[in-house]
Structures are given as structure tokens and as C-alpha cells.
Amino acid sequence: MKEENYVIKSMSRSIYHGVTIVCGMLVLSGCVMAEKYEAEKARSLNFQRLLAQEEKRTGELDNEAKRGKKELMEFEARNRELTAQVQAVREQMARVQEEAEAMKESALLERRAKADMKRAAAPVRKALPVEPALDTTDTVDLSATALGVAPEVPAVPEAVASSMGSLRSPTVHVVKPGETLYRISRKYGATVDKVRKWNKLPDDIIEVGQKLIVGQE
């Protein structure tokens, strides 16, 4: 009887120790699971926080990209405006240069015309020498009365006549925009070759504001 009680007590203690060990293991595993859960929860929260920061940074980068694109478009528009202004200034400078060249050419033509007129006037003065006046009234009257005809008027020498003809003032035309040498010559009834020869032009190119001799009055 004693042995049976001893065996029962021993088995009871073994079962108690086993249950205790199992409960301890369950409690220990529950603690480990709780720690793992808390760790995973912390990692998940940290990941969500990082994800939110990355999304915020991505939004800021998108805004910066849009702002940079807008500034680039403004710079391109400004560059086109500056290019157009530079082109306009270049064209204006070219027009000013053309006008300056035309003024130089007109001044040169004017000086040449004056020099030609002076050279043409010089032979006239040489061809008309001053002679002492002679009192031939009586002789002319007697001769005319005796012959019954009017006295003859002395003829003008050919050299003097040609010199007087060269003193005629030329017709000058100022070139306007859009005019050509052909149109100007037709307007005044002259040929292109004559107009080119009168103005000593190497070709048919003329400038606005240029003075051209287009005929003799």
C-alpha cells in the first residue's frame, strides 16, 4: 500500500513538473512571440515613416522639375526675343551703312559733277578773248547804205558753241526705295548705257539717296 502511494505521488510530481515545464515553455514562447510582434510592428512603423518621407521628397522633386521646366521655357522665349532684337539691330546697322555709303557716293558724284562743270567752263573763257573795241559804225552804215543790204552779224565759232552747250545744267534724280536703273532711265527717256556713262557707274547697282544724272536740260 505504501509503495502504491509512493508511486502515485511520484507520478503526480512528475505530471506537475511536466505541466509546469509546458506552461513555462508556453509562457516563454508567448513572450518571444510578443517581442517579435513588437519588433515587426516597430519595423513596419519605421518603414511607413520612411515611405512617407520618400513620397514627400518625390513630390518636392516633381515641383522642382516643373519649376525648372517653366524657367527653361521662359529662358527660351527670352532667348528668341533677344535673337529677334539682335537681328533687328543688325538690319538697322546694315541700312545705316547703306545710307552712309549712298551719301558718300552722292557726295562723290556731286564733286565730280562740279569738277566736270569747271573743266567745261574753262575752254569757254579761253575761246572768248577780250579785244579792243573798234568804232566801225560809219563804215558799216556806209557799206550797208551803198550796197542796200543789212549788215551781217558775225557767226559764233563752233568751239564756243560746243563749250556753251556743255554748260547746260544736267537733270539730277535722287534714287528712291524700290527704284532701279532701268526704271529711272525709262522715266527720263534715256538708255541705261547713257545713264551709266553719265554717272560713271561700273554696273547697274544703285543705292537709295544716290544722285544720278539722267539728262541734259
Model-level pTM?
A: 0.32
Q: How many residues does the chain have?
A: 217
Confidence of residue 97 (pLDDT cuts 50, 70, 90): confident
**pLDDT value for 142:** 39
- Percentage of the chain with pLDDT > 70? 72
**pLDDT value for 170:** 83
Asked if residue 209 has pLDDT above 90, the reply is yes
**pLDDT value for 158:** 46
**pLDDT value for 50:** 92
Q: How far apart are CA 211 and CA 107, in angstroms?
A: 9
Question: Is residue 185 a contact partner of residue 212, using CB atoms and an 8 Å limit?
Answer: no
**pLDDT value for 184:** 93
Q: How far apart are CA 43 and CA 37, in angstroms?
A: 10
**Number of helices followed by number of strands (H, E) in the chain:** 5, 2
Higher pLDDT, 132 or 186: 186
Asked if residue 140 has pLDDT above 60, the reply is no
Asked if residue 49 has pLDDT above 70, the reply is yes
